[in-house]
A and B are shown apart, each in its own frame.
Chain A
């Protein structure tokens, strides 16, 4: 067996093992950290599949941003895990059924003629000069230009909606206005009162 198979097996074993630990471990911070490990192993597998851009994005976006946020939330919320574990045996049959259905569906799709082994064996390894990021960029800006632009518009709408729903003016809040503070003159603030000195 060549080295690639070993690398693949290592990464996938770690990914599966840590995914199992995500749902079996008691401590929620540990579960989040195991999820990070799962993502990281998947990123390794993607690199092996010559999807460098996706692999790096997975590490940057999911591990770097999403999971850090997730950890923040988990640490800040004082979640009592005991009541959540009570329903384990009760929900186990339902969970198993859903899991089996999903496995069956995946088998149906993967077993379809479009994914047959003679079609998949055609894949050849690219040379060192091949850039996955460049190819993705070409596809996105030519074949998928229309969809790419719509996705950008969706993000714009999300920004507008988020701002429209959260930005509120509070009249009771006192803001500093530096321009007016600088322009203040002595006469605006200071009142000189002349009084006769009192005689004793």
Chain B
């Protein structure tokens, strides 16, 4: 396959994003549905292209700076599906608030392109450029609602901290480049295996880990997450909370495992500190939140802790568990934030926990869907969250880090409290707000499918798990 064929999905999505951008200029405000449909079709076709042109085994392109392997194919497909869900869920919310503009969709597509570039990057340069493409799109989307002071503040914080994190990451990359003489991941790992660890390499590694922790939102570099998730319009929060986590996982895998794999002993300790702090702070602070957006933001931080646990185990089993966790977490976050959009209506934001009170009376079916999603985030069987946590913990126990697994379990139990409190509110409290639920049929259908997938993957996790294992060990 030629280089261009290997990167066909990226090239296609880029062209389609430009088409959407141009078509949108000629549409009246009443015809924005065309932009929406065109964006969905672009993502759907990109999904088909990715599946149709996936290489047998690993394929490198563009002088070894682009990689297409099973891991990239699986992660990309999840990114498309999750983003299609995001666009579907957010449509009515945007329409109700006068934010149903082409920019949301164009920036959303460019963000997906950034994620694809990150997932397929096999050189630090393309990895960084993909990250910047994704982040720039997300900064602009957070600031999208200009009249909201809260959103502007969130965008400002996100931009400044994100730029700082990019700077730190870039500094780490430049030190590693200085030490190894190459930007290509494969050359870096070869050179490091030869020369071993030294002060300079460790310094670069430390900067890279800090940059990654910022982007993932691990404690103590998590400060932006609650404010941004809370301040951004919920439709944008849904976007930045779901698919980018998959891309961040890919970035961590490419940089730490594939590039700096020979320094595993060094980054294992760093990730351990990050993971324990994230698990602790995320789960404990979430209890004190009254806003569900902030609560889910802190829950994200604790999930990042779990994600790091799998990676720091440093075995194929751990990486596969971590990949499984990232994929299923994206689905859970999609469902969780989707539920907030589901309950919102014109002039009303369902972003307080109290807004979920008595949901069972209003809609037993969707209360059940939310129950599945919350159970899954808490890690209660038979949902997929349980299996994801279990496989990560098994991987950690298998490398004799039993204390770490114990800490993770204790904090998960503490964390289960606030998920169960939300469940209690839905089922046992009287509804304060009895108004009819308005969402259209497609939204209802998609959210139900989302909830049921979380349940079904929990009952039959073997297929996806085998896929993750094959992707990382193949």
Pick from A36-44, A161-169, A173-181, A190-198 the stretch touching chain B: A161-169
A150 touching B63 in the complex, CB below 8 Å, given contacts A105-B203, A109-B178 = no
Q: When chains A and B are docked, how far (Å) is the Cα of A153 from the Cα of B136?
A: 11
Q: Which residues of A contact B388 (CB under 8 A)?
A: none
* Secondary structure dominating the interface of A: helix
Q: When chains A and B are docked, how far (Å) is the Cα of A112 from the Cα of B143?
A: 44
Interface flag for B423 (CB, 8 Å): no
Contact mask A94-120 → B, CB, 8 Å, 1/0?
A: 000000000001001110111100000
Interface flag for B180 (CB, 8 Å): yes
Contact mask B210-238 → A, CB, 8 Å, 1/0?
A: 00000000000000000000000000000
Q: Are B130 and A150 in contact (CB under 8 A)?
A: yes
Pick from A4-12, A23-31, A68-76, A140-148 the stretch touching chain B: A140-148
Total number of A residues with any Cβ neighbor in B under 8 Å = 25
A158 touching B136 in the complex, CB below 8 Å, given contacts A108-B203, A115-B178, A165-B146 = yes
Interface flag for B132 (CB, 8 Å): yes
CB distance from B156 to the nearest CB of A (A): 12
Pick from B102-110, B261-269, B344-352, B363-371 the stretch touching chain A: B102-110
Q: When chains A and B are docked, how far (Å) is the Cα of A151 from the Cα of B14?
A: 13
Interface flag for A160 (CB, 8 Å): yes
Interface flag for B77 (CB, 8 Å): no
Interface flag for A157 (CB, 8 Å): yes
Which listed residue (B3, B21, B129) contacts A147, Cβ 8 A? B129
Q: Which residues of B contact A168 (CB under 8 A)?
A: 146
CB distance from B252 to the nearest CB of A (A): 20
A153 touching B175 in the complex, CB below 8 Å, given contacts A160-B106, A165-B140 = no
Q: Which residues of B contact A113 (CB under 8 A)?
A: 195
Interface flag for A154 (CB, 8 Å): yes
Which listed residue (A105, A153, A160) contacts B113, Cβ 8 A? A153
Across the interface, name the chain B residue whose C-beta is closest to A154: B133
Q: Which residues of B contact A157 (CB under 8 A)?
A: 107, 110, 133, 136-137, 140
CB distance from A155 to the nearest CB of B (A): 10
CB distance from A63 to the nearest CB of B (A): 24
Which residues of B, 125-172, contact A by the 8 Å Cβ criterion?
125-126, 129-130, 132-133, 136-137, 139-140, 143-144, 146
A108 touching B199 in the complex, CB below 8 Å, given contacts A146-B65, A154-B129, A160-B106 = yes
Q: Which residues of A contact B129 (CB under 8 A)?
A: 147, 150-151, 154
Q: Are B140 and A161 in contact (CB under 8 A)?
A: yes
CB distance from B217 to the nearest CB of A (A): 22
A–B pairs, 26, beta carbons within 8 Å: A109-B175, A109-B178, A109-B200, A112-B200, A114-B181, A115-B178, A143-B63, A145-B62, A146-B7, A146-B61, A146-B66, A146-B126, A147-B129, A150-B130, A150-B133, A151-B129, A153-B14, A153-B110, A154-B129, A154-B132, A160-B106, A161-B136, A161-B140, A164-B140, A165-B140, A165-B143
Q: Which B residues have a C-beta under 8 Å from some C-beta of A? A: 3, 7, 14, 21, 61-63, 65-66, 101, 103, 106-107, 110, 113, 117, 123, 125-126, 129-130, 132-133, 136-137, 139-140, 143-144, 146, 175, 178-181, 195, 198-200, 203
Known: A156-B110, A164-B107. 12 other contacts (CB 8 A): A109-B179, A147-B125, A153-B113, A154-B136, A157-B107, A157-B133, A157-B137, A157-B140, A158-B136, A160-B21, A160-B140, A164-B144
